[in-house]
Amino acid sequence: MSFIHPETHAIRTQSERTQYQEHSVPMYLTSSFVFDDAEDMRASFAEEKQRNIYSRYTNPNCAELVEKMCLLEGAEAGHTFATGMSAIFSTFAALLDSGDHVLSARSIFGNTHTLFTKYFPKWNISHTYFDVNELESIEALIRPETKILYVESPTNPATDIVDLTLLGTLSRKHNLIFIVDNCFATPYLQQPIKFGADIVIHSATKLLDGQGRVMGGISVGSAGLIDTIYRFARITGPALSPFNAWTLSKSLETLAVRVEKHCENALQLAERLEKHPKVRQVRYPFLPSHPQYALAQKQMKLGGNIVTIEVEGGLESGRTFLNAIEMCSLTANLGDTRTIVSHPASTTHGKLSTEERQQVGISDGLIRISVGLEHIQNIIQDIEKALVSV
Ligand SMILES: *Cc1c(COP(=O)(O)O)cnc(C)c1O
């Protein structure tokens, strides 16, 4: 075969078959691996041989998942983690030294924000936030001790699109490690390494599993950086369970068809709600009304599965809307087959003031919809019925 498409890699990349010639790869639910003799054991520990020793280090199911994700993201190497947050923490902790500085987008996942503000100061690691809509001014924020540039795109929940090519160029100029949390796009829609990212992180819990079953995380990128991260992880122990790795590797087989359908449903819903009288604004990267429509078209294959709407009436209407929902789920996950609605101002961002929320693009009446794979008519019906009550 000449060119192997990502869809094919996601299905056909597989660990070697065992003597049983199984079609689907087995789960290697083992904590350790046996050695042939003293010399084999010595050479393995000395890392003269590449082989599995202990599942806190490596495991065949995790290795298969890493191999697939590297092919999908165009990365040299990777390592899997128990959750997205352990991938983020381990990546930062492995690469940063005391005194280093992180330049990060302000609109990032809430727990990542807490990591920067509450825990990194303990290790004398500082950070500065920048607004993703004011990238012109970020060069002035780079300090001699700045080591990492960090973004998510599209952002959650505002769906701002960050110009990855621009930041990739800036990172090379200033010798920064450019890290992108690609959770909302998945490698099917966007491959940040192509635009100059050094490392791509995923919460595999979201669209990569896509069925709300298991948690997982992964970091992929250049071999040297990943080796540093791997060495930190094998000592500190945030290993992904082989069971979850097996599940996630299976999930990737359907990633392309799932994401394609998620995006088709999301666009249809966004177009429909844009005309709704109770909806003040709809944001979806592939709607021509989105402020960064052109950039989204350039950077992403499709618009993703997150649609945000702003309902008339603010905080109280947001809550009323959630209470009137019948089918969609009120839950903390996203990227699931099931459509999920949430109201950030009264939940995840409830501790912030209205002004602080505005800074990260969250108005009081903002509803985030993680559009699932139910029939689009049923998704529209449920949401439009709930809108009647606001
Ligand atoms: C959920 C999420 C994470 C954290 O992942 P977990 O698997 O929940 O630990 C990180 N980044 C983004 C953008 C997320 O949505």
Residuewise pLDDT in 10s, the chain (390 residues)? 689 999 999 999 998 888 999 999 999 999 999 999 999 999 999 999 999 999 999 999 999 999 999 999 999 999 999 999 999 999 999 999 999 999 999 999 989 999 999 999 999 999 999 999 999 999 999 999 999 999 999 998 899 999 999 999 999 999 999 999 999 999 999 999 999 999 999 999 999 999 999 999 999 999 999 999 999 999 999 999 999 999 999 999 999 999 999 999 999 999 999 999 999 999 999 999 999 999 999 999 999 999 999 998 888 999 999 999 999 999 989 999 999 999 998 888 887 788 888 887 889 999 999 999 999 999 999 999 999 998
Question: In a 3-state reduction of DSSP, which class is residue 216?
Answer: coil
Tokens encoding 104: 């990060």
Is there an atom of ligand 1 within 6 Å of 208 CB? no
Cα separation, 220 vs 226, whole angstroms: 7
* Domain range summary for the chain, segments of one domain joined by +: 6-252, 255-388
CB 386 within 8 A of CB 321: yes
CA of 86 to the centre of ligand 1 (A): 9
Ligand 1 nearest-atom number relative to CA 204 = 7
For the chain, counts of helices (H) and of strands (E): 14, 11
Q: Do domains 6-252 and 255-388 have the same CATH topology?
A: no
Q: Which of 83, 90, 183, 244 to mutate to test the pocket of ligand 1 (most atoms within 8 A of CB)?
A: 183
CATH class of 255-388: alpha beta
CA of 203 to the centre of ligand 1 (A): 5
Cα separation, 362 vs 191, whole angstroms: 27
CA of 216 to the centre of ligand 1 (A): 9
CA of 20 to the centre of ligand 1 (A): 37
State the burial class of residue 74 (Cβ atoms within 10 Å of its Cβ: 0-12, 13-18, 19+). Answer: middle
Is there an atom of ligand 1 within 6 Å of 183 CB? yes
CA of 181 to the centre of ligand 1 (A): 9
CA of 202 to the centre of ligand 1 (A): 7
Is there an atom of ligand 1 within 6 Å of 217 CB? yes
Q: Which of 113, 205, 342 to mutate to test the pocket of ligand 1 (most atoms within 8 A of CB)?
A: 205
Is there an atom of ligand 1 within 6 Å of 152 CB? yes
CATH topology of domain 6-252: Aspartate Aminotransferase; domain 2 (3.40.640)
